[in-house]
Amino acid sequence: MNPLFRDMPTTIFEAMSARARARGAINLGQGFPDGPRCDRVIAAAARALEERSNQYPPATGLPELRGAVARWYGRHQGLALDPDEVVITSGATEALAASLLALIRPGDEVLLFAPLYDAYLPLVERAGGTAKVLRLALPSGRIDREAFDAAIGPATRLLVFNDPLNPLGTRAHPDDLAFLAERCAAHDLVAICDEVWEALVYDGGAHRSLMACPGMRERTVKIGSAGKIFGLTGWKVGWMCAAPPLARVLAKAHQFLTFTTPPNLQWALAEGLENEDAWIATARDQHQASRDVLSGGLAALGLVPLPSAATYFVSVDLAASGIAADDTAFCEAIIDRAGVAAIPVSAFFASEPATHLVRFCFAKERATLDAALARLGEALAVPGLLRG
Protein backbone atom coordinates (compact mmCIF):
# COMPACT_ATOMS: atom_id res chain seq x y z
CA MET A 1 0.00 0.00 0.00
CA ASN A 2 1.22 3.48 -0.85
CA PRO A 3 2.21 5.04 2.50
CA LEU A 4 0.85 8.40 1.33
CA PHE A 5 -2.64 6.92 1.46
CA ARG A 6 -2.12 4.44 4.29
CA ASP A 7 -1.55 7.32 6.70
CA MET A 8 -4.39 9.48 5.38
CA PRO A 9 -7.23 9.78 7.93
CA THR A 10 -10.87 9.05 7.21
CA THR A 11 -12.74 12.33 6.70
CA ILE A 12 -14.32 13.80 9.81
CA PHE A 13 -17.69 13.75 8.05
CA GLU A 14 -17.61 10.02 7.40
CA ALA A 15 -16.19 9.28 10.87
CA MET A 16 -18.89 11.24 12.70
CA SER A 17 -21.66 9.88 10.49
CA ALA A 18 -20.47 6.33 11.22
CA ARG A 19 -20.57 7.06 14.95
CA ALA A 20 -24.01 8.57 14.60
CA ARG A 21 -25.29 5.44 12.82
CA ALA A 22 -23.75 3.14 15.42
CA ARG A 23 -25.21 5.19 18.29
CA GLY A 24 -28.58 5.83 16.66
CA ALA A 25 -27.89 9.55 16.99
CA ILE A 26 -29.57 12.38 15.12
CA ASN A 27 -26.98 13.37 12.52
CA LEU A 28 -26.53 17.14 12.43
CA GLY A 29 -22.93 16.61 11.39
CA GLN A 30 -22.61 15.70 7.72
CA GLY A 31 -24.06 18.28 5.35
CA PHE A 32 -26.85 16.53 3.53
CA PRO A 33 -30.46 17.77 3.55
CA ASP A 34 -33.67 15.94 4.44
CA GLY A 35 -35.48 18.19 1.96
CA PRO A 36 -36.99 19.98 0.22
CA ARG A 37 -36.78 17.83 -2.91
CA CYS A 38 -37.46 18.88 -6.47
CA ASP A 39 -39.65 16.03 -7.71
CA ARG A 40 -39.65 17.34 -11.29
CA VAL A 41 -35.88 17.04 -11.55
CA ILE A 42 -35.93 13.55 -10.04
CA ALA A 43 -38.69 12.51 -12.44
CA ALA A 44 -36.70 13.92 -15.36
CA ALA A 45 -33.71 11.77 -14.39
CA ALA A 46 -35.88 8.64 -14.20
CA ARG A 47 -37.49 9.47 -17.53
CA ALA A 48 -34.09 9.99 -19.17
CA LEU A 49 -33.01 6.49 -18.15
CA GLU A 50 -35.85 5.07 -20.21
CA GLU A 51 -36.01 7.52 -23.09
CA ARG A 52 -32.47 8.77 -23.72
CA SER A 53 -29.01 7.32 -24.22
CA ASN A 54 -27.28 5.51 -21.39
CA GLN A 55 -23.92 5.44 -23.16
CA TYR A 56 -20.91 7.69 -22.66
CA PRO A 57 -21.81 11.37 -23.00
CA PRO A 58 -19.10 13.83 -24.09
CA ALA A 59 -16.25 14.01 -21.60
CA THR A 60 -16.83 17.70 -20.94
CA GLY A 61 -20.56 17.16 -20.40
CA LEU A 62 -23.77 17.19 -22.38
CA PRO A 63 -24.23 20.41 -24.38
CA GLU A 64 -27.66 20.84 -22.77
CA LEU A 65 -26.21 20.98 -19.25
CA ARG A 66 -23.18 23.08 -20.16
CA GLY A 67 -25.49 25.61 -21.79
CA ALA A 68 -27.90 25.55 -18.84
CA VAL A 69 -25.07 26.20 -16.37
CA ALA A 70 -23.82 29.14 -18.44
CA ARG A 71 -27.29 30.66 -18.72
CA TRP A 72 -28.02 30.13 -15.01
CA TYR A 73 -24.91 32.11 -14.08
CA GLY A 74 -25.89 34.78 -16.58
CA ARG A 75 -29.30 35.21 -14.93
CA HIS A 76 -28.20 35.02 -11.32
CA GLN A 77 -24.65 36.38 -11.20
CA GLY A 78 -24.31 38.47 -14.34
CA LEU A 79 -21.50 36.28 -15.71
CA ALA A 80 -21.27 36.04 -19.50
CA LEU A 81 -20.13 32.43 -19.90
CA ASP A 82 -20.04 30.41 -23.09
CA PRO A 83 -21.04 26.73 -22.83
CA ASP A 84 -17.52 25.84 -24.01
CA GLU A 85 -16.23 27.42 -20.79
CA VAL A 86 -18.10 24.84 -18.67
CA VAL A 87 -16.76 21.34 -17.89
CA ILE A 88 -19.18 18.96 -16.14
CA THR A 89 -17.63 16.80 -13.40
CA SER A 90 -18.71 14.01 -11.07
CA GLY A 91 -19.18 16.30 -8.12
CA ALA A 92 -17.43 19.46 -6.95
CA THR A 93 -14.69 17.48 -5.19
CA GLU A 94 -13.74 15.95 -8.54
CA ALA A 95 -13.73 19.46 -9.98
CA LEU A 96 -11.32 20.52 -7.23
CA ALA A 97 -9.10 17.51 -7.91
CA ALA A 98 -9.09 18.09 -11.66
CA SER A 99 -8.32 21.79 -11.21
CA LEU A 100 -5.40 21.17 -8.89
CA LEU A 101 -3.98 18.27 -10.92
CA ALA A 102 -4.26 20.33 -14.09
CA LEU A 103 -2.72 23.54 -12.82
CA ILE A 104 -0.11 22.57 -10.21
CA ARG A 105 3.43 21.92 -11.35
CA PRO A 106 5.73 20.14 -8.87
CA GLY A 107 6.95 22.67 -6.35
CA ASP A 108 4.25 25.27 -7.00
CA GLU A 109 2.97 27.00 -3.91
CA VAL A 110 -0.79 27.14 -3.32
CA LEU A 111 -2.42 29.52 -0.86
CA LEU A 112 -5.23 28.04 1.24
CA PHE A 113 -7.40 29.64 3.91
CA ALA A 114 -8.28 27.98 7.23
CA PRO A 115 -10.79 26.89 8.32
CA LEU A 116 -10.79 24.87 5.11
CA TYR A 117 -12.66 21.96 3.55
CA ASP A 118 -10.64 18.86 4.39
CA ALA A 119 -10.04 17.79 0.77
CA TYR A 120 -7.99 20.85 -0.15
CA LEU A 121 -4.72 20.07 1.59
CA PRO A 122 -4.33 16.41 0.54
CA LEU A 123 -5.30 17.23 -3.04
CA VAL A 124 -2.70 19.99 -3.25
CA GLU A 125 -0.03 17.70 -1.83
CA ARG A 126 -0.90 14.73 -4.04
CA ALA A 127 -0.71 17.03 -7.07
CA GLY A 128 2.86 17.94 -6.11
CA GLY A 129 2.17 21.37 -4.72
CA THR A 130 3.26 23.01 -1.50
CA ALA A 131 0.41 24.39 0.58
CA LYS A 132 0.67 27.63 2.49
CA VAL A 133 -2.28 27.83 4.86
CA LEU A 134 -3.42 31.26 6.00
CA ARG A 135 -5.74 31.70 8.94
CA LEU A 136 -8.96 33.66 8.48
CA ALA A 137 -10.18 35.87 11.29
CA LEU A 138 -12.76 34.17 13.52
CA PRO A 139 -15.69 34.33 13.44
CA SER A 140 -15.86 36.92 10.63
CA GLY A 141 -13.91 34.96 8.02
CA ARG A 142 -11.98 38.10 6.99
CA ILE A 143 -8.60 37.84 5.27
CA ASP A 144 -5.43 38.92 7.07
CA ARG A 145 -3.88 41.05 4.35
CA GLU A 146 -0.44 41.35 5.89
CA ALA A 147 -0.20 37.56 6.27
CA PHE A 148 -1.40 37.10 2.69
CA ASP A 149 1.23 39.44 1.28
CA ALA A 150 3.94 37.83 3.40
CA ALA A 151 3.00 34.36 2.12
CA ILE A 152 3.42 35.22 -1.57
CA GLY A 153 6.76 34.18 -2.99
CA PRO A 154 8.32 33.49 -6.39
CA ALA A 155 6.86 29.95 -6.44
CA THR A 156 3.30 31.00 -5.55
CA ARG A 157 1.00 30.18 -8.45
CA LEU A 158 -2.50 29.40 -7.17
CA LEU A 159 -4.96 30.08 -4.41
CA VAL A 160 -8.05 28.12 -3.37
CA PHE A 161 -10.89 30.28 -2.11
CA ASN A 162 -14.14 28.98 -0.61
CA ASP A 163 -17.05 31.44 -0.66
CA PRO A 164 -19.57 31.09 0.97
CA LEU A 165 -17.38 29.45 3.58
CA ASN A 166 -17.86 25.99 5.02
CA PRO A 167 -17.86 25.60 8.05
CA LEU A 168 -18.57 29.14 9.28
CA GLY A 169 -21.42 30.06 6.93
CA THR A 170 -19.80 33.44 6.24
CA ARG A 171 -19.71 35.31 2.93
CA ALA A 172 -16.61 37.05 1.60
CA HIS A 173 -16.54 40.76 2.35
CA PRO A 174 -16.59 42.87 -0.83
CA ASP A 175 -13.31 44.51 0.24
CA ASP A 176 -11.68 41.08 0.55
CA LEU A 177 -12.86 40.10 -2.93
CA ALA A 178 -11.37 43.32 -4.32
CA PHE A 179 -8.13 42.69 -2.42
CA LEU A 180 -7.80 39.14 -3.78
CA ALA A 181 -8.54 40.31 -7.33
CA GLU A 182 -5.87 43.00 -7.13
CA ARG A 183 -3.27 40.63 -5.67
CA CYS A 184 -4.03 37.85 -8.16
CA ALA A 185 -3.54 40.24 -11.05
CA ALA A 186 -0.40 41.77 -9.56
CA HIS A 187 1.25 38.38 -8.90
CA ASP A 188 -0.18 36.43 -11.86
CA LEU A 189 -2.08 33.97 -9.65
CA VAL A 190 -4.91 31.67 -10.70
CA ALA A 191 -7.82 31.47 -8.26
CA ILE A 192 -9.69 28.19 -7.84
CA CYS A 193 -13.01 29.29 -6.36
CA ASP A 194 -15.10 26.71 -4.52
CA GLU A 195 -18.54 28.34 -4.71
CA VAL A 196 -20.78 25.33 -4.13
CA TRP A 197 -22.97 27.20 -1.61
CA GLU A 198 -23.72 30.09 -3.99
CA ALA A 199 -27.47 29.31 -4.22
CA LEU A 200 -27.84 29.10 -0.43
CA VAL A 201 -27.29 32.72 0.58
CA TYR A 202 -29.82 34.08 3.08
CA ASP A 203 -31.44 37.28 4.34
CA GLY A 204 -31.88 38.78 0.88
CA GLY A 205 -28.21 38.54 -0.02
CA ALA A 206 -26.81 37.65 -3.44
CA HIS A 207 -23.64 35.77 -4.21
CA ARG A 208 -20.87 37.61 -6.04
CA SER A 209 -18.15 35.47 -7.60
CA LEU A 210 -14.50 36.42 -7.49
CA MET A 211 -14.63 35.74 -11.24
CA ALA A 212 -16.77 38.88 -11.63
CA CYS A 213 -14.12 41.15 -10.11
CA PRO A 214 -11.90 43.26 -12.39
CA GLY A 215 -9.04 41.28 -13.90
CA MET A 216 -10.33 37.87 -12.75
CA ARG A 217 -12.30 36.63 -15.75
CA GLU A 218 -9.24 35.02 -17.37
CA ARG A 219 -7.60 33.72 -14.20
CA THR A 220 -10.45 32.10 -12.25
CA VAL A 221 -11.72 28.54 -12.08
CA LYS A 222 -15.27 28.73 -10.71
CA ILE A 223 -16.56 25.47 -9.20
CA GLY A 224 -20.26 24.80 -8.63
CA SER A 225 -22.45 21.92 -7.46
CA ALA A 226 -25.84 20.77 -8.68
CA GLY A 227 -26.04 18.66 -5.54
CA LYS A 228 -26.09 21.81 -3.40
CA ILE A 229 -28.41 23.79 -5.69
CA PHE A 230 -31.06 21.03 -5.77
CA GLY A 231 -30.30 19.26 -2.47
CA LEU A 232 -29.32 16.10 -4.37
CA THR A 233 -25.92 15.50 -2.80
CA GLY A 234 -25.84 11.81 -3.78
CA TRP A 235 -26.02 12.63 -7.49
CA LYS A 236 -22.46 14.00 -7.38
CA VAL A 237 -22.71 16.37 -10.34
CA GLY A 238 -20.62 19.52 -10.41
CA TRP A 239 -18.74 21.69 -12.85
CA MET A 240 -15.73 23.88 -13.52
CA CYS A 241 -16.11 27.22 -15.33
CA ALA A 242 -13.09 28.98 -16.81
CA ALA A 243 -11.92 30.96 -19.81
CA PRO A 244 -11.07 28.73 -22.81
CA PRO A 245 -7.28 28.43 -22.25
CA LEU A 246 -7.88 27.24 -18.69
CA ALA A 247 -10.96 25.17 -19.53
CA ARG A 248 -9.06 23.12 -22.12
CA VAL A 249 -6.38 22.20 -19.56
CA LEU A 250 -9.01 21.39 -16.90
CA ALA A 251 -10.82 19.09 -19.33
CA LYS A 252 -7.65 17.11 -19.95
CA ALA A 253 -7.26 16.39 -16.24
CA HIS A 254 -10.95 15.54 -15.88
CA GLN A 255 -10.78 12.95 -18.68
CA PHE A 256 -8.33 10.85 -16.65
CA LEU A 257 -10.36 11.04 -13.43
CA THR A 258 -14.02 10.16 -13.97
CA PHE A 259 -13.99 10.96 -17.73
CA THR A 260 -17.71 11.70 -17.66
CA THR A 261 -20.87 11.81 -15.53
CA PRO A 262 -24.17 9.83 -15.82
CA PRO A 263 -26.11 11.26 -18.77
CA ASN A 264 -29.57 10.92 -17.24
CA LEU A 265 -28.53 13.12 -14.31
CA GLN A 266 -27.08 15.68 -16.70
CA TRP A 267 -30.29 15.91 -18.76
CA ALA A 268 -32.39 16.23 -15.61
CA LEU A 269 -30.22 18.96 -14.14
CA ALA A 270 -30.24 20.86 -17.42
CA GLU A 271 -34.04 20.92 -17.21
CA GLY A 272 -33.84 22.00 -13.59
CA LEU A 273 -31.45 24.88 -14.15
CA GLU A 274 -33.54 26.11 -17.07
CA ASN A 275 -36.95 25.83 -15.40
CA GLU A 276 -36.73 25.61 -11.62
CA ASP A 277 -35.58 29.05 -10.46
CA ALA A 278 -38.76 29.43 -8.38
CA TRP A 279 -38.18 26.07 -6.69
CA ILE A 280 -34.54 26.99 -5.95
CA ALA A 281 -35.68 30.25 -4.33
CA THR A 282 -38.33 28.46 -2.26
CA ALA A 283 -35.82 25.85 -1.09
CA ARG A 284 -33.43 28.62 -0.05
CA ASP A 285 -36.18 30.27 2.00
CA GLN A 286 -37.05 26.97 3.68
CA HIS A 287 -33.41 26.42 4.62
CA GLN A 288 -33.27 29.94 6.04
CA ALA A 289 -36.32 29.14 8.18
CA SER A 290 -34.60 25.95 9.40
CA ARG A 291 -31.50 27.97 10.23
CA ASP A 292 -33.61 30.28 12.35
CA VAL A 293 -35.24 27.35 14.15
CA LEU A 294 -31.92 25.74 15.03
CA SER A 295 -30.13 28.99 15.92
CA GLY A 296 -33.03 30.12 18.09
CA GLY A 297 -33.30 26.74 19.75
CA LEU A 298 -29.59 26.59 20.54
CA ALA A 299 -29.70 30.09 21.98
CA ALA A 300 -32.67 29.12 24.17
CA LEU A 301 -30.52 26.33 25.61
CA GLY A 302 -27.87 28.84 26.66
CA LEU A 303 -25.55 28.11 23.76
CA VAL A 304 -24.14 30.92 21.63
CA PRO A 305 -24.69 30.36 17.88
CA LEU A 306 -22.70 32.41 15.39
CA PRO A 307 -24.49 34.23 12.57
CA SER A 308 -24.88 32.11 9.43
CA ALA A 309 -25.27 34.02 6.18
CA ALA A 310 -25.14 30.96 3.88
CA THR A 311 -24.62 27.16 3.60
CA TYR A 312 -26.42 24.44 5.61
CA PHE A 313 -24.51 25.21 8.80
CA VAL A 314 -24.54 27.17 12.03
CA SER A 315 -21.66 27.04 14.51
CA VAL A 316 -21.77 27.31 18.28
CA ASP A 317 -19.08 29.13 20.27
CA LEU A 318 -18.39 26.82 23.20
CA ALA A 319 -16.24 29.30 25.13
CA ALA A 320 -18.88 32.01 24.88
CA SER A 321 -21.46 29.42 25.97
CA GLY A 322 -19.59 28.72 29.22
CA ILE A 323 -18.45 25.24 28.12
CA ALA A 324 -14.86 24.40 29.04
CA ALA A 325 -14.58 21.29 26.86
CA ASP A 326 -12.91 21.60 23.48
CA ASP A 327 -14.88 20.97 20.30
CA THR A 328 -13.84 17.34 19.82
CA ALA A 329 -14.64 16.40 23.40
CA PHE A 330 -17.98 18.20 23.18
CA CYS A 331 -18.93 16.41 19.92
CA GLU A 332 -18.03 13.05 21.42
CA ALA A 333 -20.04 13.84 24.54
CA ILE A 334 -23.20 14.88 22.70
CA ILE A 335 -23.15 11.72 20.57
CA ASP A 336 -22.80 9.53 23.65
CA ARG A 337 -24.95 11.49 26.09
CA ALA A 338 -27.48 13.32 23.95
CA GLY A 339 -27.63 11.18 20.81
CA VAL A 340 -26.82 14.13 18.54
CA ALA A 341 -23.91 14.31 16.09
CA ALA A 342 -22.08 17.52 15.16
CA ILE A 343 -18.68 18.36 13.65
CA PRO A 344 -15.72 19.86 15.56
CA VAL A 345 -14.48 22.88 13.61
CA SER A 346 -10.89 22.03 14.59
CA ALA A 347 -11.10 19.37 11.84
CA PHE A 348 -11.06 22.24 9.32
CA PHE A 349 -7.53 23.34 10.31
CA ALA A 350 -4.23 21.85 9.17
CA SER A 351 -2.42 23.10 12.29
CA GLU A 352 -3.01 25.25 15.35
CA PRO A 353 -6.77 24.69 15.19
CA ALA A 354 -9.49 26.72 16.77
CA THR A 355 -11.02 24.37 19.34
CA HIS A 356 -13.99 26.36 20.61
CA LEU A 357 -16.41 26.01 17.68
CA VAL A 358 -18.83 23.21 16.80
CA ARG A 359 -20.74 23.00 13.50
CA PHE A 360 -24.37 21.86 13.26
CA CYS A 361 -26.28 21.17 10.02
CA PHE A 362 -29.75 22.74 9.93
CA ALA A 363 -30.86 21.32 6.55
CA LYS A 364 -33.25 18.91 8.27
CA GLU A 365 -36.97 18.47 8.80
CA ARG A 366 -38.45 20.60 11.59
CA ALA A 367 -39.27 17.48 13.62
CA THR A 368 -35.63 16.36 13.40
CA LEU A 369 -34.35 19.73 14.58
CA ASP A 370 -36.88 19.84 17.43
CA ALA A 371 -35.89 16.33 18.54
CA ALA A 372 -32.17 17.21 18.46
CA LEU A 373 -32.78 20.36 20.48
CA ALA A 374 -34.82 18.43 23.03
CA ARG A 375 -32.05 15.85 23.44
CA LEU A 376 -29.40 18.55 23.81
CA GLY A 377 -31.56 20.37 26.33
CA GLU A 378 -31.93 17.26 28.48
CA ALA A 379 -28.18 16.62 28.44
CA LEU A 380 -27.30 20.24 29.19
CA ALA A 381 -29.71 20.26 32.14
CA VAL A 382 -27.72 17.55 33.95
CA PRO A 383 -25.04 19.30 36.06
CA GLY A 384 -21.53 18.39 34.96
CA LEU A 385 -22.68 16.33 32.00
CA LEU A 386 -21.86 18.81 29.22
CA ARG A 387 -21.32 21.97 31.28
CA GLY A 388 -19.21 22.43 34.33
Buried b (16+ CB within 10 A) or exposed e, 256-282: eebebbbbbbbbbbbbbbeebeebbee
The strand pairing partners of 379, in sequence order, are none
Which domains can be identified in the chain, with CATH numbers?
3-30+278-381 (3.90.1150.10), 39-275 (3.40.640.10)
In the prediction, which pLDDT does 1 show? 47
Residue-level pLDDT, tens digit, the chain, 388 residues: 455 545 556 667 777 777 777 778 899 998 889 989 999 999 999 999 999 999 999 999 999 999 999 999 999 999 999 999 999 999 999 999 999 999 999 999 999 999 999 899 999 999 999 999 999 999 999 999 999 999 999 999 999 999 999 999 999 999 999 999 999 999 999 999 999 999 999 999 999 999 999 999 999 999 999 999 999 999 999 999 999 999 999 999 999 999 999 999 999 999 999 999 999 999 999 999 999 999 999 999 999 999 999 999 999 999 999 999 999 999 999 999 999 999 999 999 999 999 999 999 999 999 999 999 999 999 998 877 566 5
Cβ count near 1 (within 10 Å): 6
- Closest residue by Cα to residue 322 from 372, 382, 386, 373: 386
The DSSP annotation for 118-164 comes to TTHHHHHHHTT-EEEEEEPPTTT----HHHHHHH--TTEEEEEEESS
* Helices 327-338, 12-23: crossing angle, 10 deg rounding: 20
